[in-house]
Amino acid sequence: MTRDDETAPVAPTGVDTEKPSAARIYDWFLGGTHNWAVDREFARRLERQWRWVKPGARHNREFMNRVVRAALDAGIRQFVDLGSGVPTAGNVHEIVRDELAPGEEAKVVYVDYEPVAVAHAELILERHEATDWAGIVQADMRRPKDVLRHPETLRLIDFSQPVCLMMMAVLHFAGPHDDPPALVATYRNALAPGSWLGISHMSFGGQTGEDADGLRWMVEQYRQTSNPVWMRDREDIEPLFGDWPLLEPGVVHLPEWRPVRELRRDEEGARPFAWCGVATHP
């Protein structure tokens, strides 16, 4: 339902569909169906200013999908997705459901502080009949105790066993005052040996010219909102993994982490503008 002339999706009770939602905008970038005309209009305006926003979002989602599949192959059966947005268009519980054999069990916790994202998530998980093994926590990932001690987290996640914790395109909302190294360390310290930490982060990637200028325009727009964005480069991102060994191929651009397809020419330009990596608790 990504065309304005198609039937709109059902809105969760109490959700305002007349104002654009960051979670639903991201859903549209991913080709999802939980977005309205107001979201698409805003998203297209962003896309006109920075042409790589949609392919960049898809690269990020594909990286997350590859991390989930790799974690499942490694035997991990617990997943926590911080800043998850609307869990649609190939999100964690869908990958888990499709990859596991009948009778195998896994647990998924989504975390988002935006009420709109939480309302959509609850509706989606109910429709997918997944609420016994997947849940949504409304909390700010910058407050780890609120996430880790939330009743829904504790219902689903056994922290004495390995967990795949994902911080996908969310740490750029943590400013210097949030002390990102200490923030991520708090999450790492809560995880058992064998756990994984996956991070992706937007970056200028050392780029100049029109594309970098478009991204700077986007950053400036966010700086004028209650959710400012902070760009970081590889030398800032790699230390966030602490002393955990990085899985191959280390900290790389999104399409370079264990790729399963060749990039098209019309999406190649998004490559430099994000870094990612996965580390494991020794």
Where are the domains positioned within the chain?
22-281
Quick one: pLDDT at residue 5?
Answer: 38
4 pLDDT more than 70: no
Between the alpha carbon of residue 165 and those of residues 17, 81, 185, the distances in Å are 31, 6, 12
Q: What is the pTM of this model?
A: 0.88
8 pLDDT more than 60: no
Calculate mean pLDDT across residues 53-80.
96
pLDDT digits 0-9 by tens, 188-229: 999 999 999 999 999 998 888 898 999 998 888 777 666 788
Residue for token digits 């939980």?
34
CA–CA gap between residue 263 and residue 259 (Å, rounded): 9
Reference 96, options 106, 83, 82, 81; nearest CA is 106
Q: Which residues contact 262 (CB under 8 A, 6 or more apart)?
A: none
Helices 37-49 and 22-29, interaxial angle, to 10°? 70
pLDDT digits 0-9 by tens, 26-55: 788 888 877 888 888 888 888 888 889 899
Cβ proximity of 26 and 86 under 8 Å: yes
pLDDT digits 0-9 by tens, 263-278: 998 889 999 999 999 9
183 pLDDT more than 70: yes
Quick one: pLDDT at residue 224?
Answer: 66
Could you tell me which residue, 88 or 235, shows the higher pLDDT? 235
Quick one: pLDDT at residue 275?
Answer: 97
Quick one: pLDDT at residue 14?
Answer: 60
Cβ proximity of 80 and 109 under 8 Å: yes
Could you tell me which residue, 32 or 70, shows the higher pLDDT? 70
223 SS3 class = helix
CA–CA gap between residue 137 and residue 141 (Å, rounded): 10
CATH superfamily of the 22-281 domain: Vaccinia Virus protein VP39 (3.40.50.150)
pLDDT digits 0-9 by tens, 93-139: 999 999 998 889 999 999 998 887 888 889 889 999 999 999 999 99
∠ at Cα 230 (52, 58), nearest 5°? 30
Query: Quick one: tokens of 180?
Result: 């990102």
Helices 22-29 and 115-127, interaxial angle, to 10°? 50
Quick one: pLDDT at residue 120?
Answer: 83
How many other CB atoms are found less than 10 A from the CB of residue 113? 19
Mean pLDDT of the chain: 90
Q: Which residues contact 201 (CB under 8 A, 6 or more apart)?
A: 169, 171, 172, 232, 237, 274, 275, 276
Reference 50, options 29, 31, 64; nearest CA is 29
pLDDT digits 0-9 by tens, 165-180: 999 999 999 999 999 9
